[in-house]
């Protein structure tokens, strides 16, 4: 399946790509005014990175900060918070939604406030490496060729470099950008020269990344219903995903939907 922008091979059953390719139904709701500035800032930020500029750190931190503030002042966050109106918005919308979901899940999991913010930045920037992947590749509605897939699979490495080279204290964001396609069982990518378990924040963002990707319409498929997403995620708990985080996410989403 393609999570976020990536096609991830799995051998554990369901394959969302097996579903017929249909015209994805985008959300027709009015743009959420709560996050207008954040969306604009993320668009701008990704544009800067795509042009080869250094990562605008202050803008990234300000977006994450603002999301954190709004998450706390606007009451419980609905997950995902921002509807997708156009596939061209996907990068920014996905970044913001993953940041929001990751912060909510971290807080739900008992992480302290300062660390929740760090996770917010990490969630926001986890796919920043995609900014350097050619846009035409991302917009493809057909299956990617092996070469294209390989180019896309470089995005964790590219993302980590972009963040590290920004020369700001964003080590967690760099680690998450690098590790968010690693699985808890040691599989996934990139291949590590120094094998290690993904960081807790990487595991958390990875889960939110997949969750939001499945919730979202893609050029090649419809969004998945929540129960199917959880069935998919549960099946991979302990293999791809941290089982405790899966349990927390399920509880969080249930709590949110009740609220």
What is the distance of C-alpha 181 from the center of its chain? 10
Pick the closer one to another protein by CB: 24 or 62: 62
Cα–Cα distance, 116 to 226 (Å, whole number): 25
161 binds another protein (CB under 8 A): yes
The binder of another protein chosen from 6, 57, 214, 233 (CB under 8 A): 57
Cα–Cα distance, 48 to 59 (Å, whole number): 11
Q: How far is the CB of 116 from another protein (least distance, A)?
A: 9
The binder of another protein chosen from 194, 227, 258, 259 (CB under 8 A): 194
Rounded to 5 degrees, what are φ and ψ at 241? -115, 155
User: Length of the chain, please?
Assistant: 259
Cα–Cα distance, 128 to 48 (Å, whole number): 11
Cα–Cα distance, 226 to 206 (Å, whole number): 17
Among candidates 66, 57, 158, which has minimal Cα distance to 103? Answer: 66
Pick the closer one to another protein by CB: 193 or 258: 193
244 binds another protein (CB under 8 A): no
Residues binding another protein: number (CB under 8 A) = 50
Q: Which two tokens stand for residue 169?
A: 């204290």
Q: Which two tokens stand for residue 24?
A: 């994805």
The binder of another protein chosen from 70, 187, 222, 234 (CB under 8 A): 70
Q: Which two tokens stand for residue 92?
A: 């920014």
Give the SS3 label for residue 6: strand
69 binds another protein (CB under 8 A): yes
C-alpha atoms less than 13 angstroms from C-alpha of 11 in its C-beta half-sphere: 3
Quick one: which segment of 160-168, 181-189, 205-213, 227-235 binds another protein (CB under 8 A)? 160-168
Site residues for another protein, window 80-119 (CB under 8 A)? Answer: 111-112, 114-115, 118-119
Pick the closer one to another protein by CB: 38 or 240: 38
State the helix-helix crossing angle for 57-73 and 90-108, rounded to 10 degrees. Answer: 60
200 binds another protein (CB under 8 A): yes
133 binds another protein (CB under 8 A): no
Quick one: which segment of 77-85, 145-153, 193-201, 237-245 binds another protein (CB under 8 A)? 193-201
Q: How far is the CB of 192 from another protein (least distance, A)?
A: 6
Quick one: which segment of 59-67, 209-217, 220-228, 234-242 binds another protein (CB under 8 A)? 59-67
Cα–Cα distance, 63 to 120 (Å, whole number): 9
Q: How far is the CB of 27 from another protein (least distance, A)?
A: 23
The binder of another protein chosen from 22, 58, 228, 244 (CB under 8 A): 58
């Amino acid at each position: 399946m393609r999570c976020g922008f990536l096609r991830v091979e799995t051998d554990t059953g369901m394959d969302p790509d097996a579903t017929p390719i249909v015209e994805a139904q985008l959300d027709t709701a009015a743009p959420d005014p709560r996050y207008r500035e954040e969306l604009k800032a993320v668009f701008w930020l990704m544009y800067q990175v795509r042009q080869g500029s250094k990562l605008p750190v202050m803008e990234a931190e300000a977006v994450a900060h603002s999301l954190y503030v709004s998450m706390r002042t606007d009451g419980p966050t609905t997950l995902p918070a921002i509807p997708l109106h156009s596939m061209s918005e996907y990068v920014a919308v996905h970044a913001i939604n993953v940041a929001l979901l990751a912060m909510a899940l971290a807080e739900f999991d008992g992480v302290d406030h300062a660390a929740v913010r760090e996770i917010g930045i990490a969630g926001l920037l986890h796919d920043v490496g995609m900014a350097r992947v050619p846009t035409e590749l991302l917009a493809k509605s057909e299956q990617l060729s092996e070469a294209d897939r390989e180019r896309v699979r470089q995005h964790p490495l590219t993302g980590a470099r972009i963040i590290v080279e920004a020369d700001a204290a964003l080590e967690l964001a760099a680690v998450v950008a690098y590790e968010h396609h690693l699985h808890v069982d040691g599989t996934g990518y990139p291949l590590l020269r120094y094998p290690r378990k993904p960081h807790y924040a990487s595991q958390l963002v990875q889960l939110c990344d997949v969750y939001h990707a499945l919730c979202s319409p893609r050029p090649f498929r419809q969004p998945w219903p929540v129960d199917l997403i959880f069935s998919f995620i549960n099946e991979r708990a302990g293999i791809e995903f941290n089982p405790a985080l899966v349990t927390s996410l399920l509880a969080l989403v249930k709590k949110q939907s009740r609220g």
